[in-house]
Amino acid sequence: MATINDNYLKLKAGYLFPEIARRVSAFAEANPDAPIIKLGIGDVTEPLPEACRTAMVKAVEDMGDRTSFHGYGPEQGYLWLREKIAQHDFQSRGCDIDASEIFISDGSKCDCGNILDIFGSNNSIAVTDPVYPVYVDTNVMAGHTGPANETGEYGGLTYLPISAANAFTASIPHEKVDLIYLCFPNNPTGAVASKEHLQAWVNYARAHGSIILFDAAYEAFITDPTIPHSIYEIEGARECAIEFRSFSKNAGFTGTRCALTVVPKTLMGKADDGSEVALHGLWNRRQSTKFNGVSYIVQRGAEAVYSPEGQAQTKALIDFYMENARIIREQLTAAGIAVYGGVNAPYVWVKTPNDLTSWDFFDKLLHTCHIVGTPGSGFGAAGEGYFRISAFNSRENVNEAMRRITEKFRV
């Protein structure tokens, strides 16, 4: 009989979002007439921008003509898209990022897990707590951790607690760690990091030879002009950071799938013999071997994001969701519920009322209000007693959800 990867057996009973889906499905089956509103998983609801749709239709037509047909594309992504990204997302902000350092992919979630392929199994790893579960679970799957304890913390990981007390920005660890996962604007708390805070992380990483894995999937939602959108706005980041970005939330590509990872050519890792190796080449080799690239049609849609029409339309989408976040934040605050985030991110991080646990609040919201959110404890032990509410939904649903919640949970 073939053996399995036993590391999968260390994973907790269910990944957070499938467990939510299981509970919601059971409730819906028992209560088929309940008008459920889902503010849990961060999936978008509004249509793709017209500029993207138009470009994709044109690309489909290209595929119907032998002279403009596209088969396998470059695994790193088409140059015309990477050049637009380099110019608009990085160089316009003073970031020294070249198109050749950008890799197009089918999702930043995928890349956050796949990036482990190019790193050794003996690295020490730091994650915030609460944390986007993918960072932890993919390290468990790769055999980089021990088993989980009773609070769900895995041996071998360094957890950096974030809370209201430290404005949900992790303190720099005293000990050396090799890989550091940072997510700003943060999922799940909605917090952001100042330039000074990120500079401190970059300084730490350079001093210790560490690599920062910087998830900037929500950078487009930043409204404060003093907050960096990219780690590469920070001096020295080219020598210590990999950045992940996505078209999923800013342009509604959750079901279309397009993202990118930036690996500077100046970024180095250490081989077993002590020699330094460029990570750019390793990631390129990994992608060329395991990935055949994002479709031509999707990449044309992503390219249209950078057209004048695409820029205006994606801004309108972002503004729409951020207005939802404002409504959620202000309505819950008026009801006496403590909330965080929702200013520079599409997530509102809620302190559960009446000392309810995260999952008790989830069940109570589902059963009494027919509202679905995300239990904070699913993001880590430090998330217990908190709850994430997503702004990704229609205005009608957001208004109705807030009406139901504030009627039942006014403090």
User: Looking at the chain, which residues constitute the CATH 3.90.1150.10 domain(s)?
Assistant: 9-47+311-409
Binding site annotation covers 390?
no
Three-class DSSP category at 384:
coil
Binding site annotation covers 124?
no
- Beta strands across the sheet bearing 386-390: 339-341, 347-351, 386-390, 374-375
Enumerate long-range contacts of 198-203, CB under 8 Å, 24 or more apart.
Answer: 198/228, 198/231, 198/233, 198/234, 198/237, 199/234, 199/235, 200/172, 201/172, 202/231, 202/234, 202/235, 202/236, 202/237, 202/240, 202/241, 203/236
Binding site annotation covers 395?
no
State the CATH class of domain 9-47+311-409: alpha beta
* Single-letter code of the amino acid located at 341: G
Q: ω into residue 185 within 30 of 0, thus cis?
A: yes
Binding site annotation covers 248?
yes
Binding site annotation covers 154?
no
Binding site annotation covers 358?
no
CA dihedral 377, 378, 383, 387 (to 10 degrees): -90
Binding site annotation covers 53?
no
Binding site annotation covers 108?
yes
Q: Which of 249, 216, 256, 222 is nearest to 105 (CA)?
A: 256
Binding site annotation covers 187?
yes
- Can you state the percent helix, strand and coil of the chain, rounding each to 5? 45, 15, 40
Residue-level pLDDT at 18: 82
Task: At 211, list the tokens.
Answer: 């690599």
Binding site annotation covers 159?
no
Residue-level pLDDT at 411: 65
Instruction: Give the helix ranges, DSSP H, for 3-132.
Output: 16-30, 50-62, 79-85, 108-114
Residue-level pLDDT at 13: 59
Tens-level pLDDT at each residue, the chain (411 residues): 999 999 999 997 566 778 888 999 999 999 999 999 999 878 999 999 999 999 999 999 999 999 999 999 999 999 999 999 999 999 999 999 999 999 999 999 999 999 999 999 999 999 999 999 999 999 999 999 999 998 889 999 999 999 988 989 899 998 999 999 999 999 999 999 999 999 999 999 999 999 999 999 999 999 999 999 999 999 999 999 999 999 999 999 999 999 999 999 999 999 999 999 999 999 999 999 999 999 999 999 999 999 999 999 999 999 999 999 999 999 999 999 999 999 999 999 999 999 999 999 999 999 999 999 999 999 999 999 999 999 999 999 999 999 999 998 876
**Cα–Cα separations (whole angstroms), residue 296 to 81, 344, 367:** 10, 32, 45
CATH topology of domain 52-308: Aspartate Aminotransferase; domain 2 (3.40.640)
The HSE-up count of residue 122 (CA atoms within 13 Å, CB side) is 4
Q: Global pTM?
A: 0.96
**Cα–Cα separations (whole angstroms), residue 24 to 20, 59, 223, 371, 372:** 6, 38, 33, 10, 8
User: Looking at the chain, which residues constitute the CATH 3.40.640.10 domain(s)?
Assistant: 52-308
Hunting for tokens 């920062």 — which residue is that?
212
